[in-house]
Amino acid sequence: MEPVVVVVPGHAYVGVRTAPGSNRYLYIETAQTARIGFEAALAAAERGIARYPLSQIRVIKIHDAREAGIFPLPLP
């Protein structure tokens, strides 16, 4: 799925590549998914990310983070 985390000032979104080798990603506003539904969460993420210039958007590929030794915190 090639997941990413997109970080903008004060917030973050998750995303996944739409197909192997594609440059297109689906971004999801996970803070609202339960309240507004999946399609609306996709649209909210696109709007949220579009508010920022590229210089303020950081895309973190989860594969690269794992390669750098960054992993989720273990459950207690």
With respect to residue 23, please indicate whether it lies within any of the assigned structural domains. yes
- Decide: 40 and 47 in contact? Cβ < 8 Å: no
With respect to residue 75, please indicate whether it lies within any of the assigned structural domains. no
**What is the model's pLDDT at position 3?**
96
With respect to residue 44, please indicate whether it lies within any of the assigned structural domains. yes
pLDDT band, residue 54 (cuts 50/70/90):
very high
Residue 32 has pLDDT above 90, yes or no: no
Structural domain span for residue 7:
3-67
Question: 3-class DSSP state for residue 62?
Answer: helix
| Predicted model pTM | 0.86
- Number of domains comprising the chain: 1
With respect to residue 74, please indicate whether it lies within any of the assigned structural domains. no
Residue 2 has pLDDT above 90, yes or no: yes
Neighbours of 1 (CB within 10 A): 10
- Decide: 56 and 8 in contact? Cβ < 8 Å: yes
With respect to residue 76, please indicate whether it lies within any of the assigned structural domains. no
With respect to residue 27, please indicate whether it lies within any of the assigned structural domains. yes
